């Protein structure tokens, strides 16, 4: 079972959209059903993506057991998003979930 930690993790964690208990809940459900759990996140989470100014999207991280795998963002263009709060009712452009 894999959970997308939308607020990020570790040193760059910003509690923004996810409940503080979510990850421990996911871990406990995995234990209950004997399912290996892993987590994936972008550096800085969704807050960093929404408030990005003249920079690349954050690096990707994921867990594999007790190991954290880092996939650096190597390509793309520096970009500015600054789309919080979202000003459009059109959900196709309102959120950046493909990036997070």
Q: What is the pLDDT of residues 56-88, one digit of tens each?
A: 988 999 999 999 999 999 888 898 877 666 666
Find out whether 43 and 6 touch, Cβ atoms under 8 Å.
no
Q: What tens digit of pLDDT does each residue of 2-48 get? A: 999 989 887 777 788 888 899 999 999 999 999 999 999 999 998 88
Global pTM? 0.79
Task: List Cβ neighbours of 48 (8 Å cut-off, separation of 6 or more).
Answer: 8, 12, 14, 42, 58
């Amino acid at each position: 079972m894999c959970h997308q930690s939308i607020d990020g993790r570790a040193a760059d964690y910003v509690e923004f959209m996810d409940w503080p208990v979510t990850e421990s809940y996911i871990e406990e459900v995995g234990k209950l059903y004997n399912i290996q759990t892993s987590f994936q996140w972008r550096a800085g989470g969704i807050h960093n993506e929404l408030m990005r100014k003249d920079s690349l999207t954050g690096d990707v991280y994921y867990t594999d057991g007790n190991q954290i795998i880092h996939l650096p963002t190597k390509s793309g263009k520096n970009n500015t998003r600054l789309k919080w709060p979202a000003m459009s009712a059109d959900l196709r452009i309102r959120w950046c979930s493909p990036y997070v």
